[in-house]
């Protein structure tokens, strides 16, 4: 699946103390999928553990099939 122009927001970003800054076109994005990095699965990814929701813009969503 091609996800050109995809927006990826790691859980660590969504749980930050500061408010999240979304792009103006965020409401028009399509949910492309969700991935999980399990705790302890990879020590190099320890800061990225958790759920990752991936969103694609209209052009990427149209070419993803």
Burial (CB < 10 A; 0-12, 13-18, 19+), residue 11, is middle
pLDDT value at position 58? 85
Q: What are phi and psi of 54, to 5 degrees?
A: -110, 130
Q: Is the pLDDT of residue 3 over 70?
A: no
User: 33 in helix, strand or coil?
Assistant: strand
pLDDT value at position 64? 67
Identify the band that residue 1 occupies on the pLDDT scale cut at 50, 70 and 90.
very low
Burial (CB < 10 A; 0-12, 13-18, 19+), residue 51, is exposed
- The pTM assigned to this predicted structure is 0.52
């Amino acid at each position: 699946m091609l996800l050109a122009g995809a927006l990826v927001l790691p859980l660590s970003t969504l749980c930050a103390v500061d408010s999240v800054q979304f792009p103006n076109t965020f409401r028009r994005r399509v949910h492309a999928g969700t991935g999980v990095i399990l705790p302890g699965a990879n020590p190099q990814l320890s800061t990225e553990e958790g759920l990752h929701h991936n969103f694609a813009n209209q052009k990427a969503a149209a070419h993803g099939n």
